[in-house]
Amino acid sequence: MSYVMVDVEADGPMPGDYSIISFGAVIVEPSLSKTFYGKLKPISDNWVQDALKVSGFTREETMGFEEPKFVMEQFAVWINDNSKDRPIFISDNNGFDWQFINWYFHHFLGQNPFGFSSMNLSSLYKGLVRDTFKNFKYLRKTKHTHNPVDDARGNAEALLELAREFNLKI
């Protein structure tokens, strides 16, 4: 199994009505050298200025990004080429990130290489420390910049630290 840490930047709260602007993924292994970065052209005329602002791109810039089907095809190939056995989707906020990636895979490719489930890093941490009010983000080494590869890498660093600290098999 390979854990694939994913982070999504979008221009609104849900897929279909709104669009992924960019996303990043990192294979969770000590080197953290296997990364993917996609910038996707919007699929909808809807967008929320405050949500788009987080990505650091203007609407005009996003209109020049790659076609979503092409990016999702490339991501599926990358997952296949870089995963050992079954890939496992994990993110800091999988309620948000998973809904977009799952929808885009099914909409554009008809299937999701991750299957039908995902994992939430924050929930895993809270369970390990047995405190639902604790936050794992202090374990990141890479600064959280809203560049989705940076953010995925920081979250992957946190997962590796949890594995070390709690003797967690990943």
Query: What are the catalytic residues?
Result: 146
Rounded Cα distance between 69 and 108, Å, is 5
* CB-count burial class (<10 Å; 0-12, 13-18, 19+) for 127: exposed
Residue 40: DSSP 8-state: B
CB within 8 Å of 86: residues ≥ 6 apart: 1, 2, 115
Helix residue spans in the chain (DSSP H): 49-55, 59-62, 68-82, 94-109, 121-129, 148-166
Rounded Cα distance between 87 and 34, Å, is 13
